[in-house]
Structure 1
Amino acid sequence: MRTTINMSPIYNLLRRHAKTFLTAFACILIAVACILGLVYSAFQSVVLDSVALQHRDFVGQLDSISGILSATVRNYGMQVFYAPSVLTLRGDKTLDKMGQVYALRELDSYVSSNDFVDSIQVYNRDTGFIYSTDSNVISAPIDKYADQDAAELFRSLTPDLRMRPIRRTAFSDDPVRVRSYFSFLFFETTSEDEPTGGALMLNVDYDRYLNTLLSFNGQGDCMLLDETGALLTAGREELQPLIPLFFGEISREGQADSGYILKRINGEQTVCLYCRLDTSRWHYLKITPLKACVPKLLELKNALIVCIVIGFALLAICSLGVLLFLYFPVYQVRAALRNIGMENRGELAGQVSQLAQQSEAHRKASALQSLLEGQDLSLLPELPPPYTLVLMETGHAQSALKQTCTDVSALTYHQDGCEVVLFFGEERETVLAICRERADQSSIYCFCGSERTTFPQVAACYQVLCEMRRQKFWAADRHCWLEEDFTPRRPHSSFTEQMSAELASALRGSDLEQIQRLWQQIQDSIREDRFQDQLFAFQRIVSLMEKQLPALKPLVSDNFWATLKDIRTLDAIFSDAFRKIVQNNRELHRQHIDQLASQVVRQIEQSYADSDLSPTRIADSLGMSSAYLGRIFRESTQTSISQYLNQTRIRRAEELLRETEQPVETVAGLVGFSNPKYFYVVFKNITGQTPLQFRKAVHSASEKN
């Protein structure tokens, strides 16, 4: 039987224009929402730029204080460095006990004459002895000195440590004696920028130094970081975990020295106002919620959101009204379908059921994604515990998981190159068996979390699994990772500026074995750090190598770190770069010494007849020590300057003895020997015969010819 559906003119009119009306209304509403969003975004940027500018002006005052404070310490340090007592302590090799007492007593008077220096230490490089005004430390040889942190700084004097604040902790393993300082090193250097003579260290109390810099901030929402991002001081401890979230962008190459960064943290818009101090290159950060920074701006945003929501609500009401108005003819259509044959009915019902199941699975996957991203937890349906979260990473993970999700109770969705699976109501052993089976059969990387009983615990587990996934390059051959075997990451980076300085020094020294040893030590040190801290250490080393050899730049691509799968790949790249840097430095060193040797040879060839010409005189004319020049010349020519000078003079003397009949004493004077007897000795040592024997042998050979 054929069913006829009668449509009235009202229904026809509604069908003809309802879709057009709703579409136009929706487009206008979306356009208005986009325009309002753009206007608000631009207005927000203008407001925050203004706030950042005021913050920069405020930090300018802090920078002036920092500059004045640093200049005060440096000026005071230079006065003390050249004081008679310090000159005695760092230069006198034969200073007796009484002399030490008088010198230290005078040094104590310098400490007591100001209110910012806590103690003074003097290092005598010739005797290896450290003198201190600190009552907790006894003056002693450097190897037995109680404050080994200070001793290590004296051992590793480099130009970049000179007269700048160095953050350090003395007696860190002794809770009674532990002290934190900003230490300033004063020492002299040679023309090659090598430290010479003794050194002086001024120790300024850590808290007093920083409290002076933060005295302008009364709200306690500011922090001070050094050049590497390490925390120097913070107004409130709860702000410290936020530092890594912002410092990566602040320290990025090409980033401005001042400005602001806006991020959503724990569901709340947070603004970070940052500025770099010109004097110390430290970073001054002010982290505060956006609603506290610009409260009126958020009120405007909420008003705009309310207007947009009202508009979309009207659109939804209109759409619902149209659907209800059109329901009756749809009902007639459904009645007509009932009269179609039963065989087609079953197939249609199956397709509808399949679409419904797919829609439900998509809804649950979206709810799981919202849970793991820290959004609305109420979207996820009631699921029986326990919960076990798993990440599976492979290009074929989706096909591998289809069979998994039909065998057990699980929710899954695809994100960022891997499948995220939440098993519920299943024993942990069952989940582990699935992970191991998939890892063995399909070579997937499987990251399996521990059992959880609540959804917030699952969200926390997701962060741990993501960190495991980012750090899988440490053990690329391992395909099944368990949360309980993953060591908790350190809250602070183990990579220090000292490690960076040692590696930079080894690169300049061209010692490949030491470079490889330091690189391995850095790897061992940061292995338990967070990925963000490890990435900072790797990028710091890359910048050091590119600075040493600009031809390497760029050493790695921009997306290298996101695709790094094996630490051995990074080892190979770094090892090759280390070899190139060492080879380049050695070639530059060889060119340098050959150039100096050529200058010495040229001067000898031109001035050998001058009896006053000597290695010392040649070194003075080149502006360097005779010992250093002699070592460079021997390295280039395999002979000493004196030997080469004598050989040049004797070679010229042989020509004069062969070509002229001048007396031997005259020949000696012409080639630069003021003492004829010494000329005889040198001539015989080089030629094996006396000048007369040489002339006689030449004449005999000439007569025979």
Structure 2
Amino acid sequence: MLAKFRSRKYLQRILLSLIVFVVVVLCVFALTLYWKMKSTTLHIQTEANRKVLAQVKYNVEYMDEILKNLMMSLYFDNEVIPILYGKTFSYENIAIKLAKLDKVADSSTYLHSIILYNNYTNTYLSTNRKFQDNLNGEIGRFEEQLDNQQKLQKMKLVPIKISQDPLTAVDFFSYVMYGNQEQATKKQSKLILNVKPEWLFNNIKVINDLAYDKSSSVLLMDGQGLLYTNENRSANFLPTDVSERIQASHADFESFTYGKGKDKSIVTVMSLGVYHWKAVSIQSYDYALSELKSIRNMLIISTLLFFLLSAVIAYVISKRLYRPVEMMLMQLRGTLPEAKQTKGKDEWSYLSDAYASIIDKANIAELHHSRNRQIVEGFHIRNLLTKSGSLTKDKFLHLLSEHDLAIEPEGPFIIGVCKIDDFDLRMLQVSPNEQKLYRFALGNIAEEMLAPWCKLIWIEMGDNHFVFLASLLDKESFALPSFEASIEEMQQVIHRYYQLSTTISIVSPFDNYMKMAEAYSEAQELMMYRMLLGHSTLITSDRVKVNERHEDIQQAACIEKQIIEHLRRGSSEGLTSNFHHFFAYAATLTYTQFMHSVLHMTVTVTKTISEMNENRSRPIAIDLRHFYQEVLEQETVGGIEALFHSLITQLSSETNQGENEKTEILCHTMKEIIAENSNDPDFSLQNIAQLLKMSSAYIGRVFKQGTGMAVTEYINKIRLSNALELLEAQNMTINEVMERVGYRSQSYFFKLFKAQYGTTPKDYRLRKVIMAERI
């Protein structure tokens, strides 16, 4: 059973997901609950500290009020004033008055003593006889501590220590009253009430004993930043930064923590409102949260128990969720080939592979069926375009309905032929998939842009021979100029999106389906006029009517005679002018007449050059057979004329002693252009010819003569060299390298690379990596 469970990886993932979810929820809940309880406990503790410190504040304010009242009553007492400001001094005169002051000090539980200082007689009188007698210099230390005050303020407690006991922090707090505020730092007559420190510290001690554990205490901080404990000791156990923070705080109440681990404490500070004193509570953090420990332990145990229970429930739920998957696995077992039943995959991976396998088989079957149907449909459409005259009306209607052809049987009809300009060169630069995309795009764009005018069937009759058969939607509203404008716009869209130049020929609309074969033949004949009208044109019967005239044989013979004479004399200017006039004349002929004239001129020129070579000691190095073949391969009259002009240039170069130098300069320039633009996938010989404003045929021949290789071969050599550097030096994928150096087709790139270096780019990079690791 355990082995079966291990093989069910998806079940394991469901169970693990549920358990992880439960663990996360439980942990978040427990931590949130504990954090909330902890925050609440700290808040309650802080409020308790606030109440305790508020009691200390009340006691201090109450004592301050009593002292002020006592001070004012004594300072303005008629018996005290003579003692403070009398110019003469006699113990006999003031004995009774001092006795009254002794009674006042003895009757108060918080007074330590009363001191009177007469500035005129420089005499101290005190109810404390030890201070009065000044046996151990108490008066000097007392004066020194008063003088240390930057500004001795009236009726403000000043901590005084005059004893020699190192453990005692304060002997008493002095409460001073004098006359002139501006002379507060000078010796002048003063009335001083000294307060017992025990009164205040005992109050704090009682609070500590009743409300806090032994690790907690309440302290007092005076205006100078000195801390005092409840035992009248200086508190120096707080870190300096904590003491500075307490002293610098201007808040009436503040609470914060300091320290780490067991030394962590809660500090609560309350301003007492008088003398810039502050009450400080220091409490152990662990003690404050000690009650939470049992709750935390109980929470952990409850979480663990609930987790175990949740794990059992999660297993039961996982089994139920897994049951549909298990049923699907039973149904699809054996669908995949054994080679694809890879171990280690989970159930969904297996089901996905099985589903993909089924879909692939279905798609292949559908594709096969669709392809067969397209082939049959194509066969019948070709028959319709070539043998429509032999079809009866019933057979024609049956053909449309059986193959669901999108044309109306009643017409009117219109037929057009489309060709991609420079098809062979263009298709050589792209992959087979991109070729399929181009073919699909032509039909799709045609159907979309001509939809307002007609219903359309688009078919490829052969390489670079596309035909559309359309039935017009409304004969009455159909306007041939507007229809032609839509076709020209279609040509522009194809060129804009796919950089394809197309030439299209169309025939005039016709009503009878039996004329389809005749119209198709007419469209093919019109397409031949691409030779005369050039690329990217729309050819109609109206546009070629001007060429339908008889050839002026006398003019052709005259031009031919002049060309032969200039050839023999080597006159480049005369040949250029003659060829220009000849092709201007030939362009006005019909296609058949034009081809006859051009071929006759080609034979005449090549024959003349051959005759000239027989009589020259240094024959002209021109491949006349290749020249004749190039003439036949041209698609436009401009291309043929450029060939003849290139021939003139070559003839001129052959007779020029500096021919080799020109060839080297041209080859060098072409190499620089290739090096600069080789990464452009669309870069070719035609682009170089456009930049140099020269014939592509001519510069191709010159480059081949100068370098021993064709331009396309040299471009591939540069691209492959760049690819080699990128494969060696940069962290790029092979597809990125291919696109960077100027290739679109991966299969074409791999084929050229292997032919050049004897290995694929992937194997070459792998070999370089292995060699680098060995080094």
The two structures share one fold, judged by TM-score above 0.5: no
**TM-score by structure 1 length?**
0.36
**TM-score by structure 2 length?**
0.34
Greater relative contact order (CA < 8 Å, ≥ 6 in sequence): 2
Highest Rg: 1 or 2?
A: 2
